[in-house]
Structure 1
Amino acid sequence: MNIQRKELLVTSFALFSLFFGAGNLLLPPLLGYNAGDDWFWVAIGFMITAVVIPIIGILAHARLQGTLYDFGKKVSPTFSLIYCVLIYIISVAIPSPRTAAATHEIAIHPAFGTSPLLTSAIYFALVLVFVLNRSKILNLIGKFLTPFIVLMLLAVIGIGLFSSEFTTGISQFEAPLVSGILEGYQTFDAIGAVVVGAVIIVSLNFKNMEVEQYSSKRTLIRKSGFIAGFGLFIIYAGLIAVGAYYSSEISINAELSNDMQRANLLRDISIKSLGEFGNTVLSILISLACFTTAVGIIAGASDYFKGLFNNSQTVFVVTAIFGCILGVVVGQLNFNSIIMVAIPVLLFIYPITIVLILLNVLPEKFSTSLIFRAVVLVTFVFSIPDVIGFLNPSEGLAELTSYIPFAKHSLGWVVPAFLTFFITFLVKPKKKSVE
């Protein structure tokens, strides 16, 4: 079956929009601002965890064409079940409410002065409406919301770069590449890949998409992933560059919380790019970008728990309602508070998610059950010091981890995981040939 151009564009735009949320818009400008003349290296690091790994995750979905459960089932059914439940609880409890917090702080409160409770309540009521009409998610987001988001982003970036003086400050990062990698964690895009990728798979199963064959779906998802990834790359690089080149023109109050620094910087860039109209543009942009991501997260979680209970539509509705209620409660926290809660969680779950994504796109001979189990176990073990070091740093732990490559950058799991992969592949039992 030939893939129609319309289906490809709609799916690509929907995928981009489901990825692009609060952190994706707020994090890059301040990252570039602080990176100064090292903004290019910071951008490269950011792309690794915020673009490359997530798009590989979409390619894995294109190959598996199942649910999130399929990502970890080679480790063990029990592990995969626990992993899935953790991922969806984390997604519903942190990045989803974070979109409401960002919308309130940047778009709603400055204009109307309303309470975060009112904003979150209206916000997640609308999210629930969209999720309960999930068969229309791809078309609604892909045809209407995303093109508008992309056009506004390109306007801010293009005009901003064109009108800047192209001078940067001095970098505040000792290791720009690593700083970019770790900041990319905060976008939740690797987790988003395994969550919203499942939303795309389920949505494509509806008859109105007219995509039935495995090979056709795989081609459609892969092409859409590359197009969405290219769009994310352009937007992220542009936002980081704009933040770097405006560092000599815009001053941010270092005493403010990080979330307010991010919000004020992005607002100042929008005003310098589009005049006072930039405030309105930014408010609309934040609201739409956050909203589409929240819809994808809640829909993905609802789909998963629906599948656990014999495709019960009642479970789907109950999960969606629970996710939205939790969003209202947590969404009243400020953006920076949610990020601080997220860091130790990400240091634990992100490495496991990354290795599962990478292993699932490899050929079968490189991704046996033995390799899955060994690599995931080692990744888990070597991620523990990163989490403990963030929650309770001590000299003893620092001395112990000093022997682990990249441990001081919270990437101590990387080398052990790769070594385990190669060693396990080399020493795995050979299958006896059948004559």
Structure 2
Amino acid sequence: MSKSKSNIVKMILMGAVVFSMHFGGSSMIWPMTWGKVSGTNVLSAYSGIFLTALLFPLLGYIAIIRGEGTFFQITQKVSSKFALIFCSLTILVLGPLYTIPRMSAAAWDAFLQLTGIQAGSGIFNIMFSVVYYLIVYWFIARKDGVVDKISKILLPVLLIAVVSIITKGLIVPLGEVAPREYSTLPFVYGFINGYDTAELLCALIFSTIIIDDLKNKNMSKNITRDLIIICAIGIGILSCTHMGHMIIGSKVSTSMVDLKFAALYTNVVVELWGVVGGAIFNVALLMAALTTAIGLSLSSAEYFSEVSENRLEYKHSMILVLVFSAIVSSLGLDTIVVLVTPFLKVIYPPAIVLTLFYSLGPQNASKRVFFGFKLAIISSFAYGTLEGIVEFMKMGGAVENGLISFYNLIPMSEFSLGWVAISAALFFLGMAVWQNKDDDEGKLEASI
């Protein structure tokens, strides 16, 4: 095989690995439910989901490429203190405090279904956690081999299982398509639910894994072009699986009325494949949970090593991340999910502002433009903090007070999008009030 053809194969495999790291948990199970409740409006809902759950992550990868640094490095250009707070909170939520343990819980559920072991079997739970995190450790112990290990071991099983489910689901008639179950406009429904997947946040931290692997493979001198192609392949595959799952879900909107999420998915695959279908689903879920946990564990370990300026070596950071994740998963995720959800409200708005600026903003942005960006991202973080506090208040039983009333006055706050108008206004205000006689000459040192 010629070098050019070999590189094409490698890029396709790396793109498929990008897909697999995004596919764990929510991106596997949620789309079928989105399709079921959208019914005859499934395509309109998909268009909203495509924007926030698929296009935004692709822009996230492009932002890291154009920013010429890691997630932490490009955020430091705003402010070192802001970068430390925002990036650390993001890594903790996506890593050991929530998402990694959630992947472990999903894998445990799949294991229970495959083996028939009772959920209350404490000793088996401990044994499973030990084995699970040892497997993750084996995958990420050497950073330079992670992508190849995933593509050779986990990816084939995951793709075969998912393709089997979607292909048969699209061919076999499962029921009638009903009108949508919600009153919101389908596009808005899709936009908000895609927003809640947090795939953009994953893209911002997964990008370093792919960039490092590209550099190690030395496939070509144009890493920027190769990375865009690889990420487009990965997000493209994810777009197809979302569409397939949503269409299948819409076809069971009358026959599986009361089922959602994992229960809905399980019933659909059993309907399609019988008892074998249950096994296919649980194997796919196990593989999806593992690939996402591997990506997040590696990214988290790299971040803590980076932010400590390598005083905490990668191998030690990696062990701490895995041990902490295992402890959190042993404590039970129900409470953690409730406590962590408001933090997602805090970190998502600034992540979108960061992504839009670095992916779509001007090359060599002037100080004037960058000042507007700084105001926009800091204001979006402030809005997210306000929304997080309001969420905690509501969890505590608060119905109405001064802060909640103020929050409700913000346009689009009912959709968690109140930051949009505020950030846009402050971006333009920042450019308007900026005064610097050297502005036309002074450009942002780092190209974006």
Counterpart in the other structure of 1:387? 388
Counterpart in the other structure of 1:412? 418
SS in 1 for 2:313: helix
Among all aligned residue pairs of Structure 1 and Structure 2, give the percentage whose two residues are the same amino acid: 23
Counterpart contact for 2:48–2:187, Cα < 8 Å? yes
SS in 2 for 1:365: coil
Counterpart in the other structure of 1:19? 22
Pairwise CA distance, 1:97: 0.8
Pairwise CA distance, 1:34: 2.6
Distance in 1 (alpha carbons) for counterparts of 2:233 and 2:10: 13
Distance in 1 (alpha carbons) for counterparts of 2:48 and 2:166: 20
Counterpart in the other structure of 1:78? 81
Distance in 2 (alpha carbons) for counterparts of 1:229 and 1:147: 17
Match among 215, 225, 238 for residue 244 of structure 2: 238
Alignment of 1:161-176 (within 5 A): 161-163=170-172, 164-176=174-186
Pairwise CA distance, 1:12: 0.7
Where structure 1 has 5 or more consecutive residues not aligned to the other structure, the ranges are: 254-260
Counterpart contact for 2:114–2:282, Cα < 8 Å? no
Provide, for residues 323-376 of structure 1, a one-character-per-residue CA deviation record: whole Å limited to 9, x for no partner: 111222222466665543332111111111111111111213378431232001
Match among 165, 170, 183 for residue 193 of structure 2: 183
Match among 47, 50, 56 for residue 47 of structure 1: 50
Counterpart in the other structure of 1:365? 365
Counterpart in the other structure of 1:256? none
Counterpart contact for 1:23–1:186, Cα < 8 Å? no
Pairwise CA distance, 1:212: 6.3
Counterpart contact for 1:12–1:142, Cα < 8 Å? no
Residues 366/247 of structure 1: CA separation in 2 closer, same or farther (3 Å cut): farther
Counterpart contact for 2:103–2:289, Cα < 8 Å? yes
Pairwise CA distance, 1:415: 1.5
Residues 399/165 of structure 1: CA separation in 2 closer, same or farther (3 Å cut): same
Counterpart in the other structure of 1:201? 211
Pairwise CA distance, 1:402: 4.0
Residues 432/365 of structure 1: CA separation in 2 closer, same or farther (3 Å cut): closer
Counterpart in the other structure of 1:349? 347
Tell me how many residue pairs correspond in the alignment. Answer: 422
Counterpart contact for 1:59–1:222, Cα < 8 Å? yes
One-letter code of the match for 1:376?
I
One-letter code of the match for 1:340?
V
Pairwise CA distance, 1:54: 0.8
Counterpart in the other structure of 1:96? 100
1:56 aligns with 2:59: yes
Counterpart in the other structure of 1:106? 110
Provide, for residues 262-310 of structure 1, a one-character-per-residue CA deviation record: whole Å limited to 9, x for no partner: 2211101111222221111111100111101111111111122223445
Counterpart in the other structure of 2:218? 210
Distance in 2 (alpha carbons) for counterparts of 1:170 and 1:196: 35
Counterpart in the other structure of 2:444? none
One-letter code of the match for 1:290?
A
Counterpart in the other structure of 1:263? 262
Match among 143, 148, 155 for residue 164 of structure 2: 155
Counterpart in the other structure of 1:228? 234
Provide, for residues 26-58 of structure 1, a one-character-per-residue CA deviation record: whole Å limited to 9, x for no partner: 222222223333333332222222111111011
Counterpart contact for 1:108–1:119, Cα < 8 Å? no
Pairwise CA distance, 1:129: 1.1
Distance in 2 (alpha carbons) for counterparts of 1:41 and 1:161: 18
SS in 2 for 1:285: helix
Residues 190/43 of structure 1: CA separation in 2 closer, same or farther (3 Å cut): same
Residues 371/318 of structure 1: CA separation in 2 closer, same or farther (3 Å cut): same
1:281 aligns with 2:289: no
Residues 399/411 of structure 1: CA separation in 2 closer, same or farther (3 Å cut): same
Please, what TM-score do these two structures have when normalized by structure 1? Answer: 0.89
Counterpart in the other structure of 1:133? 142
Pairwise CA distance, 1:16: 1.2
Q: Which runs of 4+ in 1 moved over 6 A?
A: none
Match among 29, 32, 37 for residue 34 of structure 1: 37
SS in 1 for 2:409: coil
Alignment of 1:283-432 (within 5 A): 283-311=282-310, 315-332=313-330, 338-361=336-359, 362-363=361-362, 364-365=364-365, 368-393=369-394, 394-396=399-401, 397=403, 399-429=405-435, 431=438
Pairwise CA distance, 1:25: 1.0
Moved more, 281-290 or 331-340: 331-340
Counterpart contact for 2:36–2:251, Cα < 8 Å? yes
Please, what TM-score do these two structures have when normalized by structure 2? Answer: 0.86
Residues 277/433 of structure 1: CA separation in 2 closer, same or farther (3 Å cut): closer
